[in-house]
Structure formats: structure tokens, C-alpha cells
Chains A and B, each alone.
Chain A
Amino acid sequence: MKNLRSLNNPYRDDKVFEGCAIFALLNQAGRNVSGEPVFRAISNMRNRGNGLGGGFAVYGIYPEYAEHYALQVMFDDPLAREEVESYLKGRFEVADEEEVPTRKTQAVIHPPQVFRYFLKPRAGWMDDVTEDERVIRAVMDINIGIKDAFVFSSGKNMGVFKGVGHPETIAEYFRLDEYRGYLWTAHSRFPTNSRAWWGGAHPFSILDWTVIHNGEISSYGINRRYLEMHGYACTLETDTEVLAYIVDLLARRQRLPMSLVTKIMAPPLWEEIERMKEPERSELIKLRQIYSSLLVNGPFACVIAHHGEMIGLNDRIRLRPMTAGIGGENLYISSEEASIRLVCPELDEFWSPQGGDPIVGRVKPESPEIFEPARPEVSDEDRAGLKAGGRV
């Protein structure tokens, strides 16, 4: 009998199931917790993935370097690492670097090297823009310009761990049982549109924004072209990437509250807008006029996270499953109810939102909507950057 795991032929789909699994856990008190329930929950939805991609984003894992950007970079070739390191060292102060610890795992085949670097931009390099913009530039430069290197994540005090394999395999390989974080997202993948490549697994990330996604974005072509107009290079041949960039553009660069960001991605129908009262009606018309190219169309359920906040969002006619539950301090979002019940049989609240209605979880639910714990008050430098900004 063939060992399916030894086949590295992602296009031999003799029977196509469509589906991915997403699961997310947020400790609303901000306490770091073990990922063990997340591993169990995501592996409970094993039949929604096909072992060609699994991944996790974890927040709160590097408190000792909380003020440094943690770049987790994947290398398919040791030469690429040299090139990346010389790129980084010219532009950043590197406080620490190490290979991300792994454990020998039978099911993991040909893993790339993954290194992490804790760094801050050096004075003298692109001083006219914010540190965030400089880090984004570095990520884009590495992803586009350096062959066989790919940045998994680039935020502060967080990290993305992903690869080709079932998510529980990836968790084992990256020793995620040894990490504790207050926000975990997990993804099990059934690739249809892109190669089974380590960088192609979810979550996708830019700065501390991460996205996990189940679905196919039919509007990808135009979403991508709009983002390219704003300096985002979509290099991954996958549609999920655009979700991360949309959120980065709107929430971070244009500083729109998440409630509007979700309304841009999954707006109400015109006929619903017509029935609304002012000023909400005019505001939504304006949003749809300005950001029509960022409407995310087609079936999707996704979880977008950054420090202190996690948002679950469905497409506006709800073509993918997504449920939510609150048990104790924890908010859960999952493709399937069973996975939430598995790790938290007694839920205080449980609901399945309508299409386009976001599930919003915050570390402190009463905190303001634009939540930026990783950022100080907007400095003059930031303001200058925002004004100069618009373009990365």
C-alpha cells in the first residue's frame, strides 16, 4: 500500500474535497495559555484538510523581546540564509537570532530551515517612514528579491509556525507544546489553488497581522490589483494573502476601525443599505464607493488577528461555516461546533453569525476599537510617516 504521506505530488487530486478547517482561541484576560486544546480541536477536523498544509499563529510568545520585531524566515537553501542575513544586518540591529527549535517528526518530509531574528531598524535606513513601514519593506524585499527565502511572520512578540503536513504534525515538529500564548489561531489546509509549499500554508502574516482562511476568493484578481496599486506585492499565488494585506492597508495604514474594515470586506447588500437610517446609510454608501475593489467576494470564512484582537468574518452570503463560543475567559472560533465542544464542553455563549457579521474578540472587551498595544501613542515621527505614507 502506498504511504500517502510520502507522495509529494500535490496535484494528484484523484478526488477533490473542498474545505479547510480553522480554529482560534483568544484568552480575553490576556493570560498566556498552552496550545494543547488548539491542537486537539484542529486535529478533530482532520477530514477538512488533506495534510498538505497546517499552521499556527501564536501571540505573546516572546516577552523577553517584546519591543523587537520577530522575523521568522524560512530557507529552502542555506545560501539564501546568508543573503537574508546580510540584507538584515545592513538595515537592522539584530538583538538575537536562532534556528527555530524543531523535533524530529516522522511525518515531516524535507522541511526547510526556519530561523528567527529579533530586530529593530537601524537609524539611517529609511528614517523618513515608520518602523512598521521599514519592516514591511524588508519583508517585501526578501520575499520578492531573495530566492528560496520567505518570511513567515514579522510582528512583535508573536510568531507563525507552518508547513506541509497536518496541523498536529506541524505543532509537534515546531515543539509548539513548549510555547504559551494568549491568542492562538490554527489552520488545516486542503489546497486547491496553490502548490503544497511550506510558505503557502496558513496563517499568512504581515507585521503582527495574521490571517487564516477557508474558502476561495473569487474577487482575488481585482483585490490583488488594488493592493498592488498601494505597494503590496502579492507573491504567493494564493488568495489568502490579500486578506492580510487588506487589513494592513485599512486598519494599520489608514487607521480605520475594525468595524469598518469588516464592512469593506463583506459589505451589506445595497438593498439593505437603502433600508438603513442615516448616518449609517451614507457612511456605507461611501465605503462601498471608495473601497469597491476591496470587497472580498466568493465563499470564505476567515480569522484575522493581531495583538489584543481577533476577528472572525464570513463572506456576505455566508458560503462557508463558522461558529463561535465563549467558555470562561476563552473565546473560540471554529469551522465546526464539535471542535469547540471537544475542548470546552460547557460554553457560556454559543452562536453562528450571519454572513458579513464579524465575531470580534478583544483582550479587554471594553478597550477601544483601534487597539494597538504594541504601539505607543502616535508619535510625531509616526504622523510624518502616515502623511508621507500611502505608499510602502
Chain B
Amino acid sequence: MKSYLPPEFIVERREDRCIRCLTCVRQCGFETHVYDAEENSLLSREELCVGCLRCVTLCPTRALTVRTNPSESRPNANWTREHLRDVCRQAESGGVILTGSGNDKPIRSYWDHLFLNASQVTNPSIDPLREPMELRTYLGRKPDALEPGEGRARESECPNVRIETPLLFSAMSFGAISLQAMQSLARAASEYGTLFNTGEGGLPAELVDYGKVAIVQCASGRFGVNWEYLNNSAIVEIKIGQGAKPGIGGHLPGEKVLAKVAETRMIPVGTDALSPAPQHDIYSIEDLSMLIYALKEATSYRKPISVKIAAVHNAAAIASGMVRAGADMIVIDGIRGGTGAAPKLIRDHVGIPIELALAAVDTRLREEGIRNWASLVAAGGFRSAADVIKAIALGADAVYLGTAALVAMGCTICQKCYTGICNWGICTNRPELAKRLNPDVAARRLVKLLRGWSLDIKEILGGMGVNAIESLRGNRLQLRGVGLEEWELRVLGVKGAGE
């Protein structure tokens, strides 16, 4: 069937610059560029281009430009280009449209409507270049008091994990991302004093030495989960849901389950790795509690147990139940959270923004007097240290960085993660592509990102006149809203600017 889909991108090649080095041909895993040796000419099959800019970045003579296809049908505010395209794709495929990365719709970013405070006169701002500025954070359940009475958590039941900056790397599984990418995350986390997350695909044998800085996931497929895996970790995380695809599971197609992935996931080579939508031993809150305590037993109560959910409408009530079920850490993943593969409709329409969910959960846990019992981690589309610091002021102990970490390694958010082809060597397991990512370089870039954002956070703390991150955590008086409705301010628990 002839496709009616016009190319999304057009590739322009300046003939006066092109030296026929064929870098573009070799670099494009989607095989957009074709060399005709007889004619000594280069062609671009633009319908294959995903706009990842790998060829543009690596072209030694800067001969290439890739841009959005300027061809336009009649403008229509209702039937946007994307709607037309999606109808066309489904009319041709008869299936669900898959995508990768996070929601790309212009959903209101509450971060952009929240503004931070600074000291003037009545309290002095502090210069972080000259004064100590503390970002150290402990993740895990805290007792209610130093010498607890009956009914309160004993200290031995409160293992805590130290991180030197409130930035964690988000769950990205081996299989979804390359070994090189995971290794880069692990090395950067280890060097900077924070944690990475294995996702649900197990911990590859090459990375067992990084167990100390690993949050290991136990998800519905239970891939790679055994005693050694659980105990070679900083934190064990039960994954219930993911911001990019609340309510649905995962599917790593058999062709991506190569030997190494199969070994790590503990499944036969070439079989589909299916993660069911629910965990089939968790159909209710008491089932969750049983799994939490099973994991605590398996780890001799030495690891905090985290539970991750997608930000959905009743996140506050659910989170409260999770804490009471024994979770030592709660992760809320908002609608802008990324994914290796998800149905586009789900990614773009299911769930709620992290800002509102985070504020609601923190408020609810405080109202119930149990905020101490669990750390609260926010995830889902943090783009800068400003987003992070606003999340901490709303009540987060730390945030997960997924997409930002990938971008630091080279990702341009082309959203083709689900294809198994990634020209940057990140979200692929094809050896010839994966080897493009040099863990020495990528780890260094990640460490620099952590450092840069940490410095940003310190600058803002200093400006506020506080010298420890805990004085900002949950301190919503340091935020003011602009352009928000009354109900939005109420949910966020912040005042309007000028109030």
C-alpha cells in the first residue's frame, strides 16, 4: 500500500561542502542516506529520517541541515498536522501507534508558573562559593522521634541511604538502553555520590560492582530478580507504574532479547520479555504490603523499599496507603515521564502533571502525620535545576532524572526509542550502534550535569539565605504562583505572587 504520509523532516545537503566521506551513510541506523557509487552522489530517503541530528552533528564539513518538512496542507486548528498524521498511520497499520520518550504535548508546566524567593535586607543571602551549602539527603523511613515510644518505628527498621545531591538517575532497564548507557549512569552516580536505577531488566554482570549505588527494581515481569540482585543494592524499588504509561505493562520484543539481555533478565534468548500491566501478586493494597515485607525479609531489613507509581487522579490516597503498607520511599512519576516504548495515546493522555501530584501527596502525608515514614521522590520531565528546586520546595526529598540524563549523553529526543535503533548508542542493543556510546565520555558528561545542577541549586539556596537543602524541602513559602487559577494554587499549596 502506498503510504500517504509525507516525510516529517527534510534533509538538505550543501553540495559545495560535501566531501563524500560517507559519515552520514554509516551513522544513520535508519538508513536515510544512500550513496550511489556510480554517480558519486548522495541521496536522502527523507521518509526514513527521524530528526535525531546524528548526521548533522558528525558531518565534518557541516554540509547537512535537517529540518521539519515545511510542506503544509491547509491550516486547520482542530485537525492539526499531528492528528492527520496519526489517522493516516493507523489507517495504514491498523495498530496502536507506538512512541518513545516523554509526552511532547504543550501540557501546562506548573514549574513555569512558580517563582522562587530570595533574601533582601531582613535576612542575608549566603554566597555558596564562600560558605558551606549542604545538599546531602538521606532516603528512607525516619523514626518519629529519637527515642521512640510504642508504636513508632524503631531505628533498626529505618535503613537510610545517603546521597550527596538530591538528583537520582531514573529507572532505565538494560535491554531498553544499552549496556554502555547503563554503565555510564552507574559510573556517574558512583562518582558523584548518588544513585542510578536498574529499571526492571536486572543488573548486568558487568555492573555488579555498582550495586552499592543501584536502586534495583522489582517489576511485574520480575526480570533478573533473585537474592543476589536484591541484596547487591542501595534501595529496592517495586515498580507499580510509570508516568509515561500508567496502567499498562511493557513488552521487549524477542528480537531485542540478545544473549546478554537474556542472561540478565533470566529468560531464554529471543523470547519476548513481557511485563504484565499489573503485578499479578498485587491486586490490592494488602498484597503490596506483603511484597514490601517479602522484600524486607529477603534483604534482612537492611534496604529501604521504594514503591513507584504513576501520577494518577487519586495519587494522594494511594501514596498514603503505600506508606502505611510499609514503603520507605514513594516515587511519583508524572505525565511527562519518559519511556522506551509506550502507546502514544497513553503517553499523551493518561495521568496528571507531577507538580500537582507531588504537592497533593506531600500534603496528604503531612495531614496524616506520616510524612516522616517515607521519602518522597518526584519524577517525570525535569528539565533544569529550577524544576528540581521547585519540586523540593513543594515537598520532594529528591528527583529522578531520566530524559535529562539521556540528553547529557547525546539523546536529542527523537522519540524512536521503541524501534531498537538509536543512532546515539543509548537506546539500542545493536552492537554496532551501542558501541558508539563511550562510557568514559558519557559518564564524564553526566557527572558534569550533576555538578552543574547541584551548583545551580546551591546558588538558589544561598540566595534564599539558607545553607541546607532540608530548609527548602517542603518550604512552600519560598514559592509564589503566577497565572494560576485559585484551585491550582490550592492544590499546590502556594500563594499567588504579591500575596
Contact = CB atoms under 8 A, between A and B. Distances in A.
Interface string B22-44: 00000000000000000000000
Nearest to B145: A254
A317 B126 contact: yes
B464 A218 contact: yes
Interface stretch (B271-279, B344-352, B471-479): B471-479
Contact of A221 (B149, B467, B475): B475
A221 B478 contact: yes
Contact of A220 (B131, B144, B366, B477): B477
A293 interface: yes
Given A256-B146, A290-B146, A297 B468 contact: yes
Contacts of B465: 216, 218, 297-299
Interface string A220-231: 111001101110
B349 to A, nearest CB: 33
A222 B123 contact: no
B459 interface: no
Interface stretch (A324-332, A333-341, A383-391): A383-391
B366 A297 contact: no
A192 B146 contact: no
A107 interface: no
B138 A269 contact: no
B122 A222 contact: no
A3 interface: no
A222 B468 contact: no
A108 interface: no
Contacts of B367: 229
B132 interface: yes
Contacts of B138: 288-289, 292
Interface string B466-495: 111011111111100000000000000000
Contacts of A352: none
A200 to B, nearest CB: 16
A223 to B, nearest CB: 8
Given A256-B146, A293-B474, A228 B366 contact: yes
Interface string A281-304: 000001111111101011100000
Contacts of B126: 317
A351 B419 CA distance: 71
Contact of B471 (A222, A229, A387): A222
A263 B4 CA distance: 70
A271 interface: yes
Nearest to A319: B124
Given A287-B146, A297-B466, A193 B474 contact: no
B479 to A, nearest CB: 9
A34 B149 CA distance: 43
A298 B466 contact: yes
A271 B121 CA distance: 29
Given A18-B121, A216-B123, A220-B477, 5 more contacts: A219-B475, A221-B474, A230-B369, A292-B473, A297-B471
Interface of B: 119, 121-124, 126, 131-132, 134, 136, 138, 142-147, 149-152, 155, 160, 366-367, 369, 371-372, 464-468, 470-478
15 contacts: A16-B122, A215-B123, A216-B122, A219-B471, A220-B477, A221-B474, A222-B470, A229-B369, A269-B132, A286-B155, A297-B468, A299-B123, A299-B124, A317-B131, A391-B369
Interface of A: 16, 18, 192-193, 215-216, 218-222, 225-226, 228-230, 254-256, 260, 269-271, 286-293, 295, 297-299, 316-317, 319, 386-387, 389-391
